[in-house]
């Protein structure tokens, strides 16, 4: 009986121990599982920032923080603020900055001025060349530039008939003792230098071979020919002028009838046209 009692007590004690162990092990298991879960959550939380999204987010955050604390950005803003402020600082750094901007603007203005000068120079050369081309077209043909004295009727007819068809021939028939003839010869000599494409001639009435047709009443006479044909004839031409007349008066008179071409420009022939001549 005693053995049985002991045996029963040992069995009871073993049963109690097993029962305690059965309650303790699940609790330990639950604690271990909770610990593992917490560790995994912490690991996953830290590892989340190493993925692509985490790196992008970290970069954005760092960029924002850097922009807020970047001293160079603040200095740029400060420089712009000071440059735009009406009450600028007089510090050496600000002065150096303004000087650099001023030098830069000065160089730009200088380059623009140089470009404008070059453009103006090219424009003047172009205009000069156009004027020269036009002058050559208008003045194509022989040049005279002086008052030619004809000696007889044959020379008179030769000048009229054999001259180029595009050349205007102005002949002054005169006599030395007729009033106004000398002044008219002097005026025609001046005009001959200004209108070199026009052939100015003079002949005494007595040398024409038809002196009886040119009495003192019709002298001085101007005859204008072109292409062998008589365009105009002016008898007693000095009656159209005042007692004292000059080349400009004769020029105006001939221009009224459209007998003179455009005035020629000697500066173009010499190639020394300046800006004033162009204008």
Q: Are residues 151 and 255 in the same domain?
A: yes
Asked if the structure places residue 81 within a domain, the reply is no
**pLDDT score of 66:** 56
**pLDDT score of 105:** 57
Q: Are residues 161 and 255 in the same domain?
A: yes
For residues 47, 49, 51 and 54, what is the CA-based torsion angle, rounded to 10 degrees? 160
150/204 Cα distance (integer angstroms) = 8
Asked if the structure places residue 278 within a domain, the reply is no
**pLDDT score of 213:** 82
Last residue of a domain, one of 37, 68, 99: 68
Asked if the structure places residue 134 within a domain, the reply is no
Asked if the structure places residue 199 within a domain, the reply is yes
CATH label of the domain that carries residue 233: 3.40.30.10
249/233 Cα distance (integer angstroms) = 17
**pLDDT score of 156:** 94
**pLDDT score of 200:** 97
End-to-end CA distance of the chain: 151
What DSSP assignment string belongs to 2-56? HHHHHHHHHHHHHHHHHHHHHHHHHHHHHHHHHHHHHHHHHHHHHHGGGSHHHHH
Phi, psi (rounded to 5 degrees) for 97: -60, -45
Cβ-defined contacts of 158-165 (< 8 Å, 24+): 159/199, 159/201, 160/225, 160/228, 161/228, 163/199, 163/225, 163/228, 165/226, 165/227, 165/228
Name the packing angle between helices 181-194 and 247-256 (round to 10°): 70
Q: Is 94 helix (H, G, I), strand (E, B) or coil?
A: helix
Strands 221-226 and 147-149: unpaired
Asked if the structure places residue 124 within a domain, the reply is no
Residues of the chain with pLDDT under 50: 1-7, 21, 23-33, 35-48, 74, 267-279
- Domain count across the chain: 2
Q: Are residues 248 and 161 in the same domain?
A: yes
128/136 Cα distance (integer angstroms) = 12
Asked if the structure places residue 135 within a domain, the reply is no
Task: Supply the range of the domain harboring residue 23.
Answer: 2-68
256/241 Cα distance (integer angstroms) = 13
Q: Which of 47, 68, 49 is nearest to 57 (CA)?
A: 49
Q: Is 269 helix (H, G, I), strand (E, B) or coil?
A: helix
């Amino acid at each position: 009986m005693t053995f049985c009692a002991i045996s029963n007590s040992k069995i009871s004690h073993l049963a109690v121990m097993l029962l305690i162990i059965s309650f303790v092990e699940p609790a330990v298991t639950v604690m271990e599982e909770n610990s593992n879960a917490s560790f995994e959550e912490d690991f996953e939380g830290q590892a989340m920032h190493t993925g692509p999204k985490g790196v992008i987010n970290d970069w954005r955050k760092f960029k924002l923080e850097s922009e807020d604390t970047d001293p160079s950005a603040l200095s740029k803003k400060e420089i712009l603020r000071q440059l735009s402020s009406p009450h600028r600082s007089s510090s050496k750094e600000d002065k150096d900055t303004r000087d650099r901007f001023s030098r830069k603007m000065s160089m730009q203005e200088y380059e623009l001025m140089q470009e404008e000068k070059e453009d103006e120079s090219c424009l003047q050369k172009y205009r000069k060349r156009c004027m020269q081309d036009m002058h050559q077209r208008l003045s194509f043909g022989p040049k005279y530039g002086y008052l030619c004295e004809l000696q007889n009727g044959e020379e008179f007819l030769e000048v009229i008939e054999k001259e180029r068809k595009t050349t205007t021939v102005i002949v002054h028939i005169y006599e030395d003792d007729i009033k106004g003839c000398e002044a008219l010869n002097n005026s025609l000599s001046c005009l001959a230098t200004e209108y070199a494409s026009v052939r100015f001639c003079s002949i005494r009435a007595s040398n024409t071979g038809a002196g009886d047709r040119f009495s003192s009443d019709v002298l001085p006479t101007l005859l204008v020919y072109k292409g062998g044909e008589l365009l105009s004839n002016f008898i007693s031409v000095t009656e159209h002028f005042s007692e004292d007349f000059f080349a400009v008066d004769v020029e105006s008179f001939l221009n009224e009838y459209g007998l003179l071409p455009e005035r020629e420009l000697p500066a173009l022939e010499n190639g020394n046209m300046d800006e004033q001549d162009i204008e």
